[in-house]
Amino acid sequence: MQIQQVYEDLDLNEYADFIEQSLNHSEIFQNSSFGELKSGNFQGHPTKESFFHGEYMGHSYWGKFFVFNLSNVAYLVLFQGEEAFAHSKLLRSILNSFSIRGSQTDRIGLVKSIVPKDWKTVKIENIGTISIPPTMELRDDNSFVALVADRARDALAPKIRIQMKKSKLIFQPKGQNKMIKGSFDEYSRILINVTNDVSGDYYSQRSDLSEEEIQTLNDYYLSEISTGMKAFHAKIVRWYPFEVRKINGKGAFRIAYIRQLGNSKPVSVQEYVFFNHGKKIDITLSYRQTEKDKWEKDFSNVINTFRLSTKNN
C-alpha cells in the first residue's frame, strides 16, 4: 500500500489521469488494464478512483487507487495484491482504520506525528531517532536504579532458564536517576532492544497478509509471551489481536496486552517490532493501567516519532 501527499489542492480528474499515466510507464504496472475513472467517497471526502489489474512475472494482481483533497493537501492512496485481497474484509478494515485527522496517530494512516517543542529527540546509534516527553528520562547506566536492575537480571537469569538481555535504551519516569522522592510512585517504561534478525522482514513489509497468516503470527507471539510470563509468575489478563501497522512508512508488528505480576496492579504493554537491514528493533511501551490518564496519550505519540535512518547497517 502506498500513500502520497502533495501540499496543494489539485484537480482530482487531472491528478487521477496523471497517476494512471505514471503507472502505465512503470515496469510493474505498464501492462495493467484500468477501469473507468469514477467518483467516490472516502471518510466524507469526494474522490476520483479506479480499479486496475494485470500480470507481472507470471503473477496476477488486482489493485485500486483513489485521490482526494483535504485542507490544502492532495492525497493518493494506492494498493495492490491478489484479487482476493483487493475484495477482502482485511483491506476494508485497513482502510477504515485510516485516520487523517484526530487523535488516532498510532494507526496506519495519513497522520504525521508532530513532536512537541518540549520533547527530547534521542539518537539510537546506527538505527534512527525517537522522541520522548519531558515526564521521562533516559536511564543512566551508572545510576543506582540501573545497578539494581543489572544485579536482579544477573541473579534471575540462571534460575528461570531464559535469556535475559539488557535493553539498548531504557526510558523511565523523570527523577529516578537521581532518586528524587516521589519519582518511584509511578511505573512506566519505554524499552528499546536491537538484535540481529531478519526473520520477520518479509511479513512486516507486506500489506496483503491473509487472515490465516495474521492468526499464525498472533498465536506465535501469544505463546512466546505467555511462556515468558510464567517464568516470572506473571500472567496475561487481556490479549489484543496482532496487527501490522505503518510507522512513518515502515511496517511494524504490534503486539499489545495487559499483564499482571502476582497481586500487583495490571500493566498495559504495547510492543512494536521493526525489521531493517538485518536488524530487529523492539520498542516496548508500558505503564500501569491505573495511571493510564497520564501516559496513554504521550505514549501513543512516542511510537510515531520513531524514524529509522536510511543508512544500511
196: exposed, middle or buried (Cβ count in 10 Å: 0-12, 13-18, 19+)? exposed
Instruction: Provide the grid cell at 207.
Output: 500489506
Least confident of 232-241, 243-252, 253-262: 243-252
DSSP at 140 = P
**38-74 per-position pLDDT tens digit:** 898 877 789 999 888 887 667 778 888 888 888 777 8
Nearest-angstrom CA–CA distance, 202 and 38: 34
Nearest-angstrom CA–CA distance, 121 and 197: 26
Least confident of 22-31, 53-62, 302-311: 22-31
Stretch 177-189: mean pLDDT: 85
The answer to whether 204 and 180 have CB atoms below 8 angstroms apart is no
pLDDT(147) > 60 = no
At the top level of CATH, the class of 120-308 is: alpha beta
> Between 219 and 91, where is the model more confident?
219
pLDDT band, residue 166 (cuts 50/70/90):
very low
pLDDT(277) > 60 = yes
pLDDT(144) > 80 = no
pLDDT(17) > 80 = yes
* Domain extent listing, the chain: 2-87, 120-308
Give first-to-last CA distance, the chain, whole Å: 25
CA atoms within 13 A on the CB side of 268: 13
Which of these, 189, 308, 203, lies nearest to 253 by C-alpha position? 203
Parallel/antiparallel/unpaired status of strands 45-56 and 59-70:
antiparallel
- Tell which CATH architecture fits domain 2-87: 3-Layer(aba) Sandwich (3.40)
The answer to whether 43 and 100 have CB atoms below 8 angstroms apart is yes
Note if the pTM is more than 0.75. no
